[in-house]
Amino acid sequence: AQKITQTQPGMFVQEKEAVTLDCTYDTSDPSYGLFWYKQPSSGEMIFLIYQGSYDQQNATEGRYSLNFQKARKSANLVISASQLGDSAMYFCAMREPRSGNTPLVFGKGTRLSVIA
């Protein structure tokens, strides 16, 4: 079973509009961390935002916010006031506790295209 599911292979949004990228996750651990990364066409991976499983409030970082619904196991990324530079692949990822180290487990990504 997939640990991280991103159901939207591609999304389009008009410049200056808000957009929500979906992410659902699967874990039986009460402790976990959820991350969103951006990968522009240049290829680098850019960390955007983090949400801990015990965090009471939704995480926010500038124009990025995370709509965290723990009971539904969803961690959707909301980008407000989209800009042309937001066009990129977006990856949702999770870290779970395990013996030793904790790598990121990624979803398959959503390609966001911002239209002028």
Partner 1 sequence: DTAVSQTPKYLVTQMGNDKSIKCEQNLGHDTMYWYKQDSKKFLKIMFSYNNKELIINETVPNRFSPKSPDKAHLNLHINSLELGDSAVYFCASSQGEGLYYEQYFGPGTRLTVT
- Which listed range, 15-23, 37-45, 63-71, 74-82, lies at the site for partner 1 (CB under 8 A)? 37-45
3-state secondary structure string across 24-74:
EECCCCCCCEEEEEEECCCCCCEEEEEEECCCCCCCEECCEEEEEECCCCE
Report how many residues bind partner 1 under the rule CB under 8 A.
Answer: 29
Query: Is position 84 an interface residue for partner 1 (rule: CB under 8 A)?
Result: no
Residues near partner 1 (CB under 8 A): 31-33, 35, 37, 39, 43-47, 50, 52-53, 89, 91, 93, 95-97, 100-106, 108-109
